[in-house]
């Protein structure tokens, strides 16, 4: 297997894009990634695209062909990847394999979702398909209620508090306020988070990620050719994926994501690193309890200590480990197909020293953690400066 590096990244601003179409968002992010890589489109040999629910949300299927067409990259192969909210991470892993195997030298990988053109109810139904539709969604269990069940059990078993979950939101909004691409660029207080309306007890409005439009693209290249195009290629030191039962009720534990633990263990083995070697992590905080469980399952803190660690500031920018410097899904936004690629974009910006006001000084190694559904799929990537 060859070494693979990221040589270019590009994002749209995340938010509500009433004036832009699905394809326009993809082209904007793709053009920025190509410019960042100082690369002409003709050098791209394959395209991997991620979108969870474009058929339901904007009526567009055959997304791979649309993207390769609109980006002016025909006739190269174009493959769509779907794994619910982990679609971007899975596409990234597929693109990494394509280059690492020697099949291609340079590929593009992108994610996109346009979610605000339909009603909130329609979005909730589409997202509910990321879980077990027959056993969960059909019986009224949407994702806020699924994650609320996890939160309740975590509170029961480990004493996790609503204040600790709210602390995740406060931290991530503070980071998002420094991110020009974020949907919400405004800080919130702990009191605001705690007094927000209930969505599914104990989760309140600020415990939940928003409905978002956006796109993200990364350009990957074989390590031996990366320096031809890029002054600061960022190596993908590990790529790992694991699965768990689709339905929450079928799992042995409600307070951990087994797929995250297995993918993380494999990623650290590939990279020859340990959790203590990670400077920053972009984790899947679709709900604040999700970040708390993630930092435990990834090995940054013992099980049950994710809440107290967050409340104590140990995951803040520049602290023991900087978690979700972009603002995370909670503050930056969560256009589901784009999220996994946007996480890569943030780590690349940080390791290059290009993250502006939210820059973590001295960052050398970063990790991304992308989850599909309530943990049916988990993808972990580790990136490092070369």
Distance separating alpha carbons of residues 48 and 81, to the nearest angstrom: 7
- 56: Cβ–Cβ under 8 A, 6 or more apart, which residues? 118, 122, 125, 126
Burial grade of 308 (CB within 10 A; 0-12, 13-18, 19 or more): middle
- 32: Cβ–Cβ under 8 A, 6 or more apart, which residues? 9, 10, 11, 217
- Assess whether 284 carries a catalytic annotation: no
Q: Which two tokens stand for residue 90?
A: 């899975």
Contact assessment for residue 9 and residue 36, using Cβ atoms and an 8 Å cutoff: yes
- 275: Cβ–Cβ under 8 A, 6 or more apart, which residues? 264, 268, 298, 299, 300
- Assess whether 334 carries a catalytic annotation: yes
Which of 334, 345, 369, 381 is labelled catalytic? 334
Q: What is the DSSP string of 187-227?
A: ---HHHHHHSPEEETTEEGGGB----BEEEEEEEEEHHHHH
Which of 17, 81, 85, 369 is labelled catalytic? 85
Strand order in the sheet with 78-81: 78-81, 47-50, 106-113, 214-222, 4-11, 234-243, 377-385, 365-372, 280-282, 322-323
Q: Which two tokens stand for residue 149?
A: 């069940």
Which residues are 15's β-sheet partners? 213
Distance separating alpha carbons of residues 279 and 317, to the nearest angstrom: 10
Distance separating alpha carbons of residues 129 and 373, to the nearest angstrom: 8
Q: Alpha-carbon Rg of the chain, whole angstroms?
A: 19
Catalytic machinery residues:
85, 334
């Amino acid at each position: 297997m060859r070494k693979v590096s990221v040589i270019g990244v590009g994002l749209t601003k995340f938010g509500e894009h009433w004036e832009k179409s699905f394809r326009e968002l993809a082209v904007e992010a793709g053009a920025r990634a190509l410019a960042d890589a100082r690369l002409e489109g003709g050098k791209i040999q394959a395209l991997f695209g991620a979108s969870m629910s474009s058929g339901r949300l904007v009526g567009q299927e055959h997304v791979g062909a649309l993207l390769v067409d609109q980006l002016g990259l025909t006739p190269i192969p174009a493959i769509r990847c779907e794994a619910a909210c982990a679609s971007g991470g899975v596409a990234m892993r597929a693109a990494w394999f394509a280059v690492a195997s020697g099949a291609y030298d340079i590929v593009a990988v992108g994610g996109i979702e346009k979610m605000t053109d339909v009603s909130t109810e329609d979005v909730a139904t589409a997202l509910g398909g990321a879980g077990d539709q027959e056993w969960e969604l059909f019986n009224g269990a949407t994702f806020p209620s699924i994650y609320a069940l996890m939160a309740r059990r975590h509170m029961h078993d480990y004493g996790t508090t609503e204040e600790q979950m709210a602390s995740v939101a406060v931290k991530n909004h503070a980071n998002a306020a420094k991110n020009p691409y974020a949907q919400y660029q405004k800080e919130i207080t702990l009191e605001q988070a705690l007094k927000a309306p209930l969505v599914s007890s104990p989760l309140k409005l600020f415990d939940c990620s928003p409905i978002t439009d956006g796109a993200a693209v990364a350009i990957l290249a074989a390590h031996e050719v990366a320096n031809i195009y890029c002054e600061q290629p960022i190596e993908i030191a590990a790529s790992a994926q694991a699965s768990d039962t689709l339905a929450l009720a079928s799992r042995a534990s409600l307070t951990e994501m087994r797929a995250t633990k297995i993918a993380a263990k494999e990623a650290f083995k590939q990279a020859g690193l340990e959790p203590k070697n990670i400077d920053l992590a972009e984790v899947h905080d679709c709900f604040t309890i999700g970040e708390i469980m993630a930092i435990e399952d990834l090995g940054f803190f013992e099980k049950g200590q994710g809440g107290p660690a967050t409340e104590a500031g140990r995951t803040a920018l520049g602290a023991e480990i900087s978690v979700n410097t972009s603002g995370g899904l909670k503050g930056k936004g969560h256009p589901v197909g784009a999220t996994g690629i946007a996480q890569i974009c943030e780590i690349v910006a940080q390791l290059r020293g290009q993250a502006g006001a939210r820059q973590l000084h001295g960052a050398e190694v970063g990790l991304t953690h992308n989850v599909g559904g309530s943990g049916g799929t988990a993808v972990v990537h580790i990136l490092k400066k070369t």
